């Protein structure tokens, strides 16, 4: 078997076999397939795409290149949730204790933020004392005892994907559905849960900008999960504006805590209920509709907040943050107002630019080695379709002495378009599609 023949076959529009795909991935990891041949194969895939079977084979070859996380020692049903990344997406923090309140186990590996998207681990580490680096025994013990555990990703999950992504990033082959879906699912299937709910973002703050592209990606990932005999549901959700009202770390944790108490913003609350109900649905614990009724009761009774306190304490965090978040979270008191320059409706938001505006304040990373400032971020007052008058506050900018707040304000000015007309309601529809 030669890389040349495998590349030529894909270049000419034919399907690669399971053995050919495994040969390319294993060879690239072991450096017997050089960068230039892998890059040529990736470009052939970019132009000719892959069949559902090829996508699955690519996913499994990358998955098998590293460790798998066996969750069988965790009692009960384990359902994972994955978001393709967005701005203001703090759903895991409020969602985890919600589904745990109904008997599901949430044992999740999450990532850090890079670029315009935030990371769940960075947000959780804004809670004083919270530890995301856990041993395997700690991870399993916390899940069994407290029903929720969220840890940082291990270095050796799907190392082939990490090596290939670095090459894709430098050869303009990132944005291809087969490669994206295999990249995501190789990491998700390495964590051996009983099912997965996928939150595929679409819009100006998402990786996939159009609904049709996002639906295609969602279907590709669902196909891969099904071939792996995994229960799966994918939702295509809106990222044409930040989710909720905050973008940052401490301020997003504050909003997540408010949401798990029934006091959060409408869109974040609705999405958390939708994702939670879908997780419960595929677990078989209860129906989609009935689970929403029970979740509402568990929030009102304080059961969800109590689970959150025990989970946070189990991972070394300060549990009192749930009762009195503003006393324990580091939130800047140095606040600027971003105001409307004219009368009109918020017609369009470049959500990616809002994410970058938060990043340059210090809430995110331009490079992996950058240090996060948990105190800074952006609180959004006006969203799509809202009417504003000149001088009205659109957003509050929480800054520190080290923040590049001038650049942040410029980015916000470019991000918000005010018009005489309201945007089409599809622009701020929360859920576009559900793929079961």
Catalytic residues: 82, 161, 168, 183, 187
* Kind of pairing between the strands at 195-202 and 231-238: parallel
Alpha-carbon distances of 114 from 122, 241, 306, 367, rounded to whole Å: 10, 19, 31, 7
**CA–CA distance, 121 with 426 (Å, rounded to integer):** 32
**CA–CA distance, 250 with 326 (Å, rounded to integer):** 9
Q: What one-character-per-residue DSSP string does 324-355 give? A: -HHHHS---S-EEEEE-SSSEEEEEE-HHHHH
DSSP-assigned letter for residue 371: P
Residue 151 pairs in a beta bridge with: 109
**CA–CA distance, 206 with 99 (Å, rounded to integer):** 25
Query: In degrees, to the nearest 5, what angle opens at C-alpha 85 toward C-alphas 90 and 50?
Result: 150
Residue 202 pairs in a beta bridge with: 238
Per-residue tokens: 379:
């609180």
**CA–CA distance, 243 with 355 (Å, rounded to integer):** 11
**CA–CA distance, 357 with 397 (Å, rounded to integer):** 9
User: Is residue 79 within 8 Å of residue 194, measured between CB atoms?
Assistant: yes
Q: Is 388 left (phi over 0), alpha (psi -120 to 50) or beta?
A: beta
């Amino acid at each position: 078997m030669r890389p040349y023949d495998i590349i030529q076959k894909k270049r000419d529009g034919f399907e690669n076999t399971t053995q050919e795909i495994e040969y390319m991935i294993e060879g690239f990891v072991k450096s017997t397939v050089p960068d230039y041949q892998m890059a040529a194969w990736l470009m052939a895939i970019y132009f000719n795409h892959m069949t559902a079977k090829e996508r699955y084979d690519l996913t499994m070859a990358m998955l098998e290149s590293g460790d798998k996380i066996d969750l069988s020692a965790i009692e009960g049903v384990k359902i994972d949730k994955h978001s393709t990344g967005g701005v203001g997406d703090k759903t895991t923090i409020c969602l985890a204790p919600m589904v745990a309140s109904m008997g599901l186990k949430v044992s999740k590996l999450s990532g850090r933020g890079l670029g315009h998207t935030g990371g769940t681990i960075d947000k959780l580490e804004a809670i004083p004392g919270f530890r995301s680096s856990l041993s395997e025994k700690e991870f399993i013990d916390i899940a069994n005892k407290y029903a929720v555990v969220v840890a940082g990703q291990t270095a050796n999950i799907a190392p082939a994907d990490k090596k290939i992504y670095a090459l894709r990033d430098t050869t303009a082959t990132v944005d291809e559905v087969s490669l994206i879906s295999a990249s995501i699912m190789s990491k998700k299937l390495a964590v051996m849960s009983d099912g997965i709910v996928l939150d595929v973002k679409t819009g100006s703050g998402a990786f996939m900008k159009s609904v049709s592209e996002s639906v295609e990606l969602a279907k590709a990932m669902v196909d891969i999960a099904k071939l792996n005999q995994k229960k799966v549901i994918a939702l295509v959700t809106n990222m044409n504006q930040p989710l909720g009202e905050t973008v940052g770390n401490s301020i997003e944790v504050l909003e997540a805590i408010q949401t798990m108490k029934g006091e959060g913003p409408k869109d974040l609350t609705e999405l958390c209920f939708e994702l939670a109900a879908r997780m419960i649905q595929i677990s078989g614990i209860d129906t989609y509709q009935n689970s929403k009724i029970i979740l509402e009761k568990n929030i009102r009774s304080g059961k969800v907040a109590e689970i959150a306190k025990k989970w946070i304490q189990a991972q070394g965090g300060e549990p009192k943050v749930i009762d009195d978040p503003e006393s324990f979270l580091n939130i800047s008191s140095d606040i600027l107002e971003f105001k409307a320059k004219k009368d009109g409706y918020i017609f369009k938001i470049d959500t990616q630019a809002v994410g970058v505006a938060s990043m340059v304040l210090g809430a995110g990373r331009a490079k992996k080695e950058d240090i996060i400032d948990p105190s800074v971020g952006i609180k959004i007052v006006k969203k799509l379709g809202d009417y504003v008058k000149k001088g009205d506050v659109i957003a509050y900018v929480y800054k520190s002495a080290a923040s590049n707040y001038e650049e942040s304000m410029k980015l916000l000015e470019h991000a918000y378009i005010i018009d005489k007309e309201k945007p089409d309601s599809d622009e701020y529809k929360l859920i576009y599609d559900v793929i079961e």
